Structure 1
């Protein structure tokens, strides 16, 4: 019978984790039917002999992953629309032997060593930012803040109107390097002191240090539940470098092109001011200028703007697809004609939404619908879910071998270190040696060994746990202070507990632009959600309409017209959080003064 378990069989698992896994298995197998009501927390706690808190944690994790849906005053109901089945396709790829790839020996190509894959695609290592705040759900619902619940020294303070330094800048991930810098400098000294010259200065495989790849595989197994062959891992100097490599691999695999940067694309290294977007024609070449057989990549909309530039640089036609409450819209994906989709399912940037389990299996079904389809899973801040367990990765349930998993250490150690990695599916891993194996690895060997030591010793995990706790504290300080202001009821937090940003929706009679200007006047810089909305070439307005303000257009995936802001609090300090909240509240009150 569904939802009846033997808790004595949990082994080393915690009670809440065992209960969550058993209930998830019942839902995935169809033992619990779609729409079925789950036992109340009190009933289930009594039946299984556990505390109500244990049941609450299990239900919260199931809700975060999209397995169940909470209905006010009604309880919890199964949200997965159909039992999980392997997509109908040739699943022989799921049985490919997990042999260790023989790339330990460094191939010595004739001629000089190769340059990095793409200097254009090697700017900041962080693929985006992300996270959340107390009380928001993973399904897009918002709660009023009042209900329940120094920038890095190397960077000069920006000036706002009035001549004083900013109190807080939420418009970009202004990482405060303090603890991470201390950790890295100590680890670097230990590495140089205790590692032999042969380890530090010997040539490394194109994929990167085998020692580091093994350490990353162990880390992924313990933290993400992924069984990864180190031979399929590739180390790169930042996520953007890896995006370019993925683009080249897929182009080679599909025979669509040579994967060289396109002269149409703009320079990728420059960071745009917050809220400012490239004109539609600058983000990618016009459809008319591309051959009819140009491969199409689908990206999320709103989404990370540089993705379009990077894929365009390698010859892809970029098609933005709206994101709804469950993730990227499947009808839009089907209509795009894409053979590649690049998504952030565990914490979408900038909306903060988590792709539901139903949508995840729909995406795997989409992969099965074409022989040359691939999905790029961008897991840029997977270590910073602030409540519950990490959401399982798409790569961990990919039986077709079509998911490329990309992770980065930029959120935990800072983007200055330029450390990222990708896990290639078997077919692309084999192609890597043939098509890109001639490249020299783009990350310093010393840095790779240093990171290996941090992962092996457990120091990295302890650092992440401390940093996660610190960021949760800062977030709560800001939100509690905002709730205590007269503007608390006008501010609504969306998509909490998933990473290092949340979305703030504001009740106001004006658009985003006015609130941005008022907040800057009070010392707070904001990033409007409209700054991340992208338009495909086919959907661009005529030239005489392009002057229309983006903030006046409806945001994809939202059912109301509230101004929304992406609140990236990576660099916010505990001391500045309350002051920043009061300054923002003053701006919101001033924006609402027109109603009086």
Structure 2
């Protein structure tokens, strides 16, 4: 429907205001040549004015050449109406930067991206069946506003899931549902305060730092050692909040040992207002050894905030994540931030409740772990069987959907990435995840390779092309 703001106090007649509104829509390109306008009765009802007022406006625009009529059909935009503005159309458009067209990549390009998951494995039939059940059984509640922290049923189901799989004992009142990690990190900055200094792992996930900074927080990168985030450097950083990924650090793939976890918890106990945000990244996708306990389950001072998402286990587009807050922060959220609406639609929440309660997530994870482990095994076999393998060290095989390759060549990571691109293969430099300059030069070049979105044939072809290219490069360097 065509919306025109009419001002009865304006000395200009209402029909002229309608004329001006339609002319502006034509000039802006919102009304296209030969597009049919609403009927006189429909537009009059929409604008809360008389049919005669709309008819007068239409007839005036016909007389001026902006519209034409078809017998018994209505009013249409004249094909030449835009010419009446004599170049005014461009002046009405905002001065926005032009977006260059994406030329795309060649058809044979293979991208070892760390983003995304294998969407072909998504349980569409199960999700669709559960969605239909929700539509049938929850009609009275689907359109109602949900609590600010999310549906209680979903928070209870997540609490049961965490108790069974991560030994995290939390009540639903501690769990906050939100539209993914980005949204939840922003909420945590509001909850903890933007005036604090936040520490982040170096190298680390760039978007996490960007989100913290975009919410007004001061972020300091803290270098890691062989066991993960260095507590001594964390102490010297002056930060009172640290964002850590102990279960599977991105991008290095390190798994933080228990002794280091204990030292980080000790750091929180040394001052009354220190917090750890535990991003339990990729923890469900562990392939070797027993899973280590979450920091949250080890914490006795209630100063760990647990953050996770269903983006890796189901699909990124679902945009469903959650935070487990210590009791003091949960109470603060309820008191100070309960005016927020939950950012996840109730329909998706109710469907996920059934997905969790019926054991569908557990079965789906079992299938995905088998699929991803097969692909990781294939990738490592391809890497180790190539003649160039003597120059490679593979890191981060324990869990997650990417590997780190340490390449023993006297060259830069950008050179390795460039040679890969010449072979129509995308891989990623570890230095791209570093903010501290000297962190980029104190080690052998390292390359990050994801494999979740690639088929077995793509893994084979991409690995061969990549290592063939690096083999040729090594010959020129010797």
Q: Match for residue 528 of structure 1?
A: 429
CA contact 2:114–2:401 (8 Å) conserved in 1: no
Q: Match for residue 77 of structure 1?
A: none
Shift of 1:401: 0.9
Q: Match for residue 312 of structure 2?
A: 411
**Quick check: 1:165 aligned with 2:165?**
no
Q: Match for residue 576 of structure 1?
A: 458
Q: Distance in 2 between matches of 1:183 and 1:575?
A: 26
Any residues of structure 2 matched to 1:27-46 within 5 Å, and which? Answer: none
Shift of 1:381: 1.4
Which segment drifts farther, 491-500 or 226-235? 491-500
Any residues of structure 2 matched to 1:165-564 within 5 Å, and which? Answer: 165-167=108-110, 169-180=111-122, 182-183=124-125, 185-251=127-193, 259=194, 294-535=195-436, 553-555=438-440, 561-564=443-446
Shift of 1:468: 0.9
Q: Structure 1's 435 and 184: CA in aligned 2 closer, same or farther, altered over 3 A?
A: farther
Shift of 1:174: 3.6
Which segment drifts farther, 189-198 or 586-595? 189-198
Q: Structure 1's 248 and 193: CA in aligned 2 closer, same or farther, altered over 3 A?
A: closer
Any residues of structure 2 matched to 1:70-109 within 5 Å, and which? Answer: none
Q: Distance in 1 between matches of 2:308 and 2:402?
A: 17
Give the count of matched residue pairs. Answer: 378
Q: Distance in 2 between matches of 1:366 and 1:484?
A: 44
Q: Structure 1's 396 and 187: CA in aligned 2 closer, same or farther, altered over 3 A?
A: farther
Secondary structure of 1:487's aligned partner: helix
Q: Structure 1's 593 and 187: CA in aligned 2 closer, same or farther, altered over 3 A?
A: farther
Shift of 1:194: 4.2
CA contact 1:479–1:581 (8 Å) conserved in 2: no
Shift of 1:417: 0.7
Q: Distance in 1 between matches of 2:146 and 2:443?
A: 53
Q: What's the RMSD between the two structures over aligned residues?
A: 1.9
Q: Structure 1's 498 and 595: CA in aligned 2 closer, same or farther, altered over 3 A?
A: same
Secondary structure of 1:410's aligned partner: coil
Q: Deviation per CA, 1:87-107, whole angstroms, max 9, x where unpaired?
A: xxxxxxxxxxxxxxxxxxxxx
TM-score by length of 2: 0.76
List, as ranges, runs of 4+ consecutive aligned residues in structure 1 with deviation greater than 4 Å: 156-160
CA contact 1:297–1:318 (8 Å) conserved in 2: yes
Q: Deviation per CA, 1:159-203, whole angstroms, max 9, x where unpaired?
A: 55xx44312x12331423112152564245433454221342332
Q: Structure 1's 524 and 502: CA in aligned 2 closer, same or farther, altered over 3 A?
A: same
Shift of 1:425: 0.3
Q: Distance in 2 between matches of 1:488 and 1:500?
A: 21
Q: Structure 1's 554 and 372: CA in aligned 2 closer, same or farther, altered over 3 A?
A: closer
Q: Distance in 2 between matches of 1:363 and 1:481?
A: 38
Greater share of helix: 2
CA contact 2:155–2:176 (8 Å) conserved in 1: yes
Secondary structure of 2:284's aligned partner: helix
Any residues of structure 2 matched to 1:101-120 within 5 Å, and which? Answer: none
TM-score by length of 1: 0.61
Q: Match for residue 15 of structure 2?
A: none
CA contact 1:187–1:454 (8 Å) conserved in 2: no
Q: Distance in 2 between matches of 1:306 and 1:189?
A: 32
Q: Distance in 1 between matches of 2:373 and 2:440?
A: 28
Q: Structure 1's 158 and 190: CA in aligned 2 closer, same or farther, altered over 3 A?
A: farther
Which of residues 566, 585, 593 is equivalent to 2:448? 566
Q: Structure 1's 182 and 399: CA in aligned 2 closer, same or farther, altered over 3 A?
A: same
Shift of 1:460: 1.0
Q: Distance in 2 between matches of 1:374 and 1:444?
A: 30
CA contact 2:116–2:316 (8 Å) conserved in 1: no
Any residues of structure 2 matched to 1:116-127 within 5 Å, and which? Answer: none
Unaligned runs of 5+ in 2: 1-100
